[in-house]
Chain A
Amino acid sequence: MATDAPAAPAEPSDDQADPTETRESDRGLGDQLRDVGPGRVALYAVLLALGAFYLAPLESGLLTAFKTQEAFFSTTPFAPPPIDGTTVAPWLSAFDTLSGGLVNSFILVVPATLISALLGSLAAYGLTNIDWRGQLVVLLLFVAGVFIPYQAVLVPLTRFWTMVGLNDLLAFWEPLASRADLVALIITHAAYGIPICTVLFRSFYSTIDGEMLEAARLDGASAATIYRRIILPLSGPIFAVTLIYQFTQIWNDLLFALVLLSSPENQVVTIALNKLKGSMVQQYNLQMAGAFIAALPTLLVYVLFGEQFAEGVAGET
């Protein structure tokens, strides 16, 4: 559905990597230097200012997290901490508060991400690479699912999980039963992640050569064989995009966790962080350290896989 086609992955498209870069490298260094007029300087100044704008809250937060209580009240928020006002105590204290939530978040995010990506891949294959009448209507329902405001399902969702009573269903194994909330949250995130995963996979699968799949069919491959032997081995890049996108989304979510998690031992990191903010109102250094600790996994993923993340967010359109 991507109207802005280039945002979608077009096969392994190294050759059309980035027009600007080839253009740039075509020209000698001398040419480039000669071009550096006042316009170019202004352009880079604006770009750098924008960079400062986007980074400012992080910079200020990061520096504050290293300041003592007295120091952040007495220094400018974007100046580095003074020598006698430097401390790592907020980090230790925040980590202490959040560590349980971090673990729970990982327990939540890993399975939910994997399940939603796998189901999205299967659905996209069945709705894209196998032709049958009416598939577009089913696809339309999947795509619409991407845009549903979750508020519209919250009340039934909590009601549903109350009625299911996972606690009792999982009673056969105590460690799991006490995690019932988290299991419900995993299934919930997996289910609501399917639409966007399907959309992302579809944009990739629709670029797969239909003739190649017909050739496999002619060779006697069944739909399942084609998926396992051809589609899946080719899906590496789009799995990366989808897993990264879903990891970030589920890790960052607050709303579902807020309404589905009741016991404190199951709380995920976003909840823990929100509580920390509420209870440590004036301790900005602690809040900032907490925010960074909670954001660290997604920040790391973003720094390592920025391109895939960009592809994921652009794939939403």
Chain B
Amino acid sequence: MNPMDLVSRLVRSADDEAHEDADVRTDGGTATSERQGSGRGFLASNRNLVESLPFWLPPALLVGLFVYGAIGWNVLISLTDWEGLGSPEYGSLDLSMYAQLLGDDTFIIAFRNTLVLLIAFTVVSLAVGLVVAILVDQRIRFENTFRTVYLLPMSLSFVVTAIFWSWMYNFEIGMINQLLRLAGLDFLTQQWISDPQWKMAAIIFALMWQFSGYCMVVYLAGLRAIPTEQYEAARTDGASTLRMYWRIIVPQLRASTTSAAVVLMVFALKAFDFLYVLFGDTPGPSVDILSVMMFREAFSTTNWAYGSAIATVLFLMALSVIGPYLLTQYRRGDL
């Protein structure tokens, strides 16, 4: 066979072929993961490690000291009996603080409140954020403006928003009650942040106001990652809008939901500023939560060891939320 024919034959078919996998690296997917994961052999890997040290080691030392060192130290302190003005005695360590926790009704109540806040706040914020994200995703005009407005509360300090909401919830002349009166719903007006019955709901509502914009951003990113073809396919199949979202779109937002939920739950565990500004360090049994109780025990009544024990409980709760999440991310290589 004539060599030129041969070549032209090869050229044609190979061009077709190359078109299909134009983006494929020579060695396919495996090469990429090899490149990142296991390094390039012992020597190169060591050389790279040495080269990389000056960059990440100083920040890692700071994080190691301030985050992990401090957490360990906190656990240590929680095992002492440290209180008052002196220094902690590391000589005799025991679990007495934790034993005390179990018998402390205030702790049990705060623990329960923390869980209620964590769950209710997360669910409500996610639900509102999802609805808002879907509405914003309807090819609307001025999308940027709407998005900016919805996310705006997120840029404010809790000190600021707590002041706004204490005004909003004012019984005589706060906006909430005034609007209810205007609508002729006087019987619904409440002492929102004084009445133990409504306090928690009022807090959750205000925090939802602040955080749902964040959920919207996360969900919007998730929605935009879904190919338009799926919407078109669902429509072609005659699915109603509601059905389409419920059956096809929302299930694909699981990753967004998970990551936003983790952030919200961790926030709920450490929520402090907002409550502290509204109520000081004693918000009362209906909204007393662990993070506030910890501050009160440690910094107001100088029961340092007891406060540390509460802090350890908070840390373990946070760990039980983020641990599984980060491990999954790590295993999937999404880190």
A–B contact, 8 Å CB criterion (strictly below): yes
Contact yes or no, A191 B65, CB < 8 A = yes
The A127-153 residues at the B interface (CB cut-off 8 A) are 127, 130-136, 138-145, 147-153
Whole-angstrom CA separation of A76 from B147 in the bound complex = 28
Q: Is the CB of A210 within 8 A of B35?
A: yes
- The 0/1 profile, CB within 8 Å of B marked 1, for residues 29-62 of chain A is 0000000000000011011001101111110110
Instruction: Determine the chain A residues whose CB is within 8 A of the CB of B322 once the complex forms.
Output: 144, 147
Question: What residues of A have a CB within 8 angstroms of the CB of B65 in the complex?
Answer: 191
The secondary-structure label for the interface of chain B is helix
Q: Is the CB of B299 within 8 A of A259?
A: yes
Contact digits for B60-71, partner A, Cβ 8 Å, 1 yes 0 no: 101111111111
Interface bits B40-57 vs A (CB < 8 Å: 1, else 0): 100001101101111111
Task: Answer whether A194 and B59 are a contact pair too, CB < 8 Å, given A251-B157, A270-B157.
Answer: yes
Please provide the chain A residues from 182 to 201 with a CB less than 8 Å away from any CB of chain B in the complex. Answer: 188, 190-192, 194-195, 198
The answer on a CB contact under 8 Å between A298 and B73 is: no
Interface size class of A (residues with CB under 8 A): 35 or more
Note all chain A residues with C-beta closer than 8 A to B153: 54, 57
Q: Assuming the A-B contacts A149-B314, A151-B291, A252-B159, are A24 and B266 also in contact, with contact meaning beta carbons closer than 8 angstroms in the complex?
A: no
Closest to B274 in A: A254
Q: Which of A84-92, A154-162, A173-181, A233-241 sits within the interface?
A: A154-162
- Cα of A139 to Cα of B159 in the assembled complex, Å: 33
B311 touches A154 (CB 8 A): yes
CB neighbours (8 Å) of B166 from chain A are 277, 287
A81: interface (CB < 8 Å)? no
A274 within 8 Å of B by Cβ?
yes
Q: Which residues from A are CB-within-8-Å of B67?
A: 145, 148, 153, 191-192, 195
Is B163 an interface position by the 8 A CB rule?
yes
A150–B272 Cα distance when bound, in Å, is: 10
Q: Flag whether B115 is at the interface (Cβ < 8 A).
A: no
CB of B173 within 8 Å of the partner chain: yes
* B19, CB-defined interface residue at 8 Å: no
Give A residues with C-beta under 8 Å from B. 1-7, 18-21, 23-24, 43-44, 46-47, 50-51, 53-58, 60-61, 64, 72-73, 76-78, 119-120, 122-123, 125-127, 130-136, 138-145, 147-160, 188, 190-192, 194-195, 198, 210, 222-224, 227, 248, 251-255, 258-259, 270, 273-274, 277-278, 284, 287-288, 290-292, 294-295, 298-299, 301-303, 306, 309-310, 313-314, 316-317
Closest 7 CB pairs of A and B: A126-B55, A126-B56, A317-B259, A252-B157, A153-B70, A152-B315, A156-B73
Query: Can you list 16 A-B pairs with a CB-CB distance of less than 8 A?
Result: A3-B255, A18-B143, A57-B167, A76-B182, A123-B59, A141-B64, A143-B326, A147-B266, A150-B270, A151-B291, A151-B311, A151-B315, A159-B77, A270-B157, A270-B159, A287-B167
